[in-house]
Amino acid sequence: MRQYAKFLLISLLMILAMNSLALAQMADRIVAVIGDEIILLSEVETRLQLAGMQLKISSDDVDALNKLRVSLLQDLVDEKLILVQARRDSIQIDPQEIDGALNNQIQRIKEQLGSEEAFQEQLANEGLTLQSLKKRFRPQISNQLLRERLIRQKMANITVSTKEVMDFYETYRDSLPMHGRSVQLSHLMLTVTVDEENKRMAFQKATEVLAKARAGEDFASLARTYSQCPSAEGGGDLGNFSRGEMVPEFEQAAFVLSPGEISDVVETMYGYHIIKCEDLLGDQVHVRHILISMTASEEDEQRIINQLNELRNRALKGEDFSALVEEYSQDPYSREKGGDLGWFSMDQLNPQFSSAVDTLSTGNISEPIPTSSGYHLLKVVDRVTERRVTMENDWDFLEEATRQRKISDELMVWLNTLREEIYVDIRL
């Protein structure tokens, strides 16, 4: 489904970049029927053009295009099978969730094109308006969300054992991608705490928003209006998560909620949260939230910077960095490991980290680096120009890769079952 989401973004871009009239003039026809859904020749040919460009297949290579066409049609059939089953299972998507996803896709298009002006120019060139573009792609977004929700429900309980991860590694170790220029990092993080007056004002604002939510105002709309989290644009939707993925205070509040229930005001290092449970899926919970941040003053920030500079000097003079992390760091996930963050490819790091790491020699420690979660001291433990994936250094990566492989296998079994239960007629 990640591949489909990528395709959807590309297709949105394509409608701005290619001559859509050529497709409109195609002699369209139905090439497949799946339950009460149909696939049109124009859908297949649109995907063929996109995939052909990505794979750099010449328009003269008829055999390669025909093979690709058959493969893409099968992908479309699979998508329709899942969509039909989602509707049979009465899966519902909140209209505001569709709006949020569509707005996110359009925002990514603007980023791809470089500016709002370039986006508007492309719309004008194709005789489209923002409203007509949204209208055209809203059904695709809705169907995508339906499929994704059903797949999450079907695959939510899939886990992998230690043996399965080890077997995966032994089977695929020679074909796993090499990591490029990489660094092993350790860090010490301090959050910026605010004075009592700012905390009081933030808590008061959160309490006022909570009252609105409990009075029946739409939670997603309140999130878009008041939340200071990046999720606000999507109505505060955080999707599904399991225990261990969020900060403890947030998780503790989220996992005791029933569907439709709204939490009290919850304080974490990020501010004050109001959490609404959307659904419970096995050992996962699906929530929306509203975040009211506590605004720190310049004096608050400078105090943390000074404290980190003092800790950095102590480490550079010989004190054990991991011991300082265990005593002072406010990152609960890395503190017990002496601040160890593991290995990262340089292109995986956020810009603040990568620019600092580029100038550090092995064993050196950065000056305080600001991020949305706090200020960090980064220590370069080791660096290499290229490295292989290993169980010792990349267990989390291997565990997730194993799980995704297992999900893919289970998905194929499920799709074969759906083909036996749902009417399929391919006419191409």
Distance (Å, rounded) from C-alpha 252 to C-alpha 257? Answer: 9
User: Confidence class of residue 4 from pLDDT cuts 50, 70 and 90?
Assistant: very low
290 neighbors 227 (Cβ within 8 angstroms): yes
Domain check: are 224 and 324 in the same one? no
Last residue of a domain, one of 234, 260, 292: 292
Distance (Å, rounded) from C-alpha 209 to C-alpha 207? Answer: 5
Distance (Å, rounded) from C-alpha 41 to C-alpha 1? Answer: 22
Per the domain annotation, does 406 fall within a domain?
Answer: no
Per the domain annotation, does 219 fall within a domain?
Answer: yes
CATH, residue 11: 1.10.4030.10
pTM over 0.85: no
Total domains, the chain: 3
What would the DSSP string read from start to end of 47-64? Answer: HHHHHHHHHT--TT-HHH
Domain check: are 242 and 322 in the same one? no
Q: How many of the other CB atoms lie within 10 Å of CB of 237?
A: 22
Higher pLDDT, 264 or 333: 264
Farthest CA pair distance, the chain: 76
Closest to 150 measured CA to CA, from 104, 243, 88, 72: 88
| The pair of three-digit structure tokens given for residue 62, joined into one six-digit string | 């008829």
Domain hosting 56: range is 2-158+421-426
Last residue of a domain, one of 256, 271, 292: 292
CATH, residue 206: 3.10.50.40
CA angle 245/247/248 to nearest 5° reads 105
Residues 327/330/332/334 CA torsion (nearest 10 deg): -70
User: Confidence class of residue 1 from pLDDT cuts 50, 70 and 90?
Assistant: very low
User: Confidence class of residue 126 from pLDDT cuts 50, 70 and 90?
Assistant: confident
CA 204, 206, 208, 211 dihedral sign is: negative
- For residue 277, pLDDT beyond 90: yes
Domain check: are 240 and 317 in the same one? no
User: Tell me, what's the pLDDT at 21?
Assistant: 43
Last residue of a domain, one of 230, 259, 292: 292
Domain check: are 149 and 29 in the same one? yes
Per the domain annotation, does 174 fall within a domain?
Answer: no
H or E stretch including 212? helix 196-214
32: phi > 0 → left, psi -120 to 50 → alpha, else beta; which?
Answer: beta
77 neighbors 32 (Cβ within 8 angstroms): yes
Domain check: are 380 and 358 in the same one? yes
Higher pLDDT, 119 or 367: 367
326 neighbors 336 (Cβ within 8 angstroms): yes
Residue 127 φ then ψ, to 5°: 70, 30
Domain check: are 89 and 117 in the same one? yes
Domain check: are 309 and 262 in the same one? no
Domain check: are 189 and 336 in the same one? yes
Q: 152: number of CA atoms within 13 Å, CB side?
A: 20
SS3 track for 234-262: HCCEEEEEECCCCCHHHHHHHCCCCCCCE
Domain check: are 17 and 136 in the same one? yes
User: Tell me, what's the pLDDT at 22?
Assistant: 44
Domain check: are 212 and 133 in the same one? no
Domain check: are 259 and 337 in the same one? no
Per the domain annotation, does 227 fall within a domain?
Answer: yes
Q: pLDDT tens digits, residue range 16-65?
A: 554 444 444 456 789 999 999 999 998 898 888 888 887 889 889 999 99
Residue range 144-165: mean pLDDT, rounded:
90
130: phi > 0 → left, psi -120 to 50 → alpha, else beta; which?
Answer: alpha
Q: pLDDT tens digits, residue range 50-107?
A: 888 878 898 899 999 999 999 999 999 999 999 999 999 888 887 877 888 888 788 8
Distance (Å, rounded) from C-alpha 165 to C-alpha 391? Answer: 9
Domain check: are 353 and 269 in the same one? no
User: Tell me, what's the pLDDT at 428?
Assistant: 82
Higher pLDDT, 249 or 6: 249
At position 79, the amino acid (one-letter code) is E
- No. of H helices and E strands in the chain? 16, 11
Task: Report the side by side order of strands in the sheet with 30-34.
Answer: 37-40, 30-34, 424-426
Per the domain annotation, does 411 fall within a domain?
Answer: no
